Amino acid sequence: MNPAGGANPRKARRERIVRKADSAFGHPPETIRFWSAGVRAALKAGAQTPFYLFSPQPVAAALQRLEAESFGRPAVHWLSTKTQPLPELLRWWRAQGRPAEVVSEAELKLAKAAGFDVETLLVNGPAKHRWLARHSEPGLRVNFDSARELRELLSLACRDRWRVGLRLCTTEEFDPETPAFPTQFGFTPDEARSAVRVLRRAGLPVETLHFHLRTNVAAPDCYARALNDVAAFAAEAGLTPKHLDIGGGLPPAHVLSRAGKRLDAGISVRSLALAVRQALKRLPSVEQVWLENGRFVSAGSGVLAVQVLDVKERRGLRQLICDGGRTLNALVSVWEQHELRPLRETAGPETLTAVHGPTCMAFDQLARKPLPRAIRPGDVLMWFDAGAYHLPWETRFSHGLAEIWWQDNGRPRCVRPAG
């Protein structure tokens, strides 16, 4: 047993670091109250842990933050469907009169079922020639991703007068895990030049120039450099795009890297908007700026509720074995730290605690941080910011999928049973 600040100096230092990080990224009390009340209401209504509770209110707040800044032209915020492919969210977004971006046939079907139509859909993503022909419609908006895709879909694009864009692989786009390598997306400048020639011959104007750098972009300079590439390419290729689509990538608030650094420490909506405004001086034809932020918009829109099933203590570490965790419900915990707290008010000392899911993998560790020693079996823990990339990456590993609860106006209701 080694409560926080105990005899082992290295461990005590590690705990101080975690504590410091924690106090910098905690949610405000009203957010904690909002989710605590929601989780209690869901439990009262019969929710079984583990479950996700989602709400559109934080999405509305994130949109407000995006819309508070000027991007130099009217900005269109596309729902990044892949980030949170939840029918209830899609319908809510649609009801606001907002459009959605999809990157696969499954997402396209989901979006259509939620009421999006050709005017409110944007088709992105690689290798669309495999499936998009089945869904061609007059006026469909498509950002091409490769020469092969363009070749195989060109006749349909001409027949149905698609409104087309090109995704550029700017020099700023690289594999975040191995930055020496580029990503697999979009056209290199040479490929893009050929694509422009092909589209010109076909009589289809390039309406949109698009890039998506990666997720959790650390600084506005990354966007500024990519925008520079786009402006240079447009000038050289003689393009006058109507839309500049800068993808997503803005990190959410209240989330840390595993090393304890706020993901949004070096970037804000304001600094991004400034970079875009400056770049637009070199892109005078642009009439609209398109954004497809996934994480920034939806991370805060949910919590994961898990229940402590067992408690162990070994080598100075308290371990909570829960009915949900990383493997089943929160893969992003591999590289992100989120706020995690017990639903029940717990006072008293804290100790370094690992929160584990129920699968037979040491990997199944949702968090390792100081938590109250008073937490005991039966307690419900809330893992915050569970609204981005949790559903797309959930697994059934040995157990099955968690329930999903949705809270719009009024009481939470179950919108997907466990299974």
Ligand X SMILES: Cc1ncc(COP(=O)(O)O)c(C=O)c1O
Sites of contact with ligand X (CB under 6 A): 80, 83, 124, 212, 215, 247-250, 292-296
Rounded to a whole number of angstroms, the minimum distance from the CB of residue 409 to ligand X is 26
User: Which residue number, 145 or 379, has a Cβ lying nearer to ligand X?
Assistant: 145
Rounded to a whole number of angstroms, the minimum distance from the CB of residue 194 to ligand X is 22
Rounded to a whole number of angstroms, the minimum distance from the CB of residue 293 to ligand X is 4
User: Which residue number, 4 or 102, has a Cβ lying nearer to ligand X?
Assistant: 102
Residue type, 91: R
User: Which residue number, 43 or 192, has a Cβ lying nearer to ligand X?
Assistant: 192
Rounded to a whole number of angstroms, the minimum distance from the CB of residue 124 to ligand X is 5
Long-range contacts (CB closer than 8 Å, 24 or more residues apart) made by 124-128: 124/167, 124/210, 124/212, 124/292, 126/184, 126/185, 128/153
d(CA 387, CA 86): 10
Rounded to a whole number of angstroms, the minimum distance from the CB of residue 53 to ligand X is 20
User: Which residue number, 49 or 124, has a Cβ lying nearer to ligand X?
Assistant: 124
Rounded to a whole number of angstroms, the minimum distance from the CB of residue 308 to ligand X is 31
Closest CA to 279 of 211, 215, 184, 216: 211
User: Which residue number, 248 or 325, has a Cβ lying nearer to ligand X?
Assistant: 248
Rounded to a whole number of angstroms, the minimum distance from the CB of residue 185 to ligand X is 7
d(CA 140, CA 226): 26
Please report, in angstroms and rounded to a whole number, the separation of the first and last CA atoms in the chain.
38
User: Which residue number, 294 or 325, has a Cβ lying nearer to ligand X?
Assistant: 294
User: Which residue number, 62 or 322, has a Cβ lying nearer to ligand X?
Assistant: 62
Question: Please, what's the b/e burial string for 331-353 (b: 16 or more CB within 10 A of its CB; e: otherwise)?
Answer: bbbeebbbbbbbbeeeeeebbbb
User: Which residue number, 253 or 321, has a Cβ lying nearer to ligand X?
Assistant: 253
d(CA 162, CA 215): 28
Rounded to a whole number of angstroms, the minimum distance from the CB of residue 31 to ligand X is 20
Looking at 293-362, which runs of residues are DSSP E strands?
302-314, 317-322, 336-338, 340-342, 350-356
The structure tokens listed for 213 are 């750098």
User: Which residue number, 15 or 173, has a Cβ lying nearer to ligand X?
Assistant: 173
d(CA 298, CA 319): 30
CB 157 within 8 A of CB 164: yes
d(CA 249, CA 292): 8
Rounded to a whole number of angstroms, the minimum distance from the CB of residue 196 to ligand X is 20
Q: Which residues pair with 351 in a beta bridge?
A: 371
Residue type, 24: A
d(CA 224, CA 282): 12
Map residue 190 onto helix, strand or coil: helix
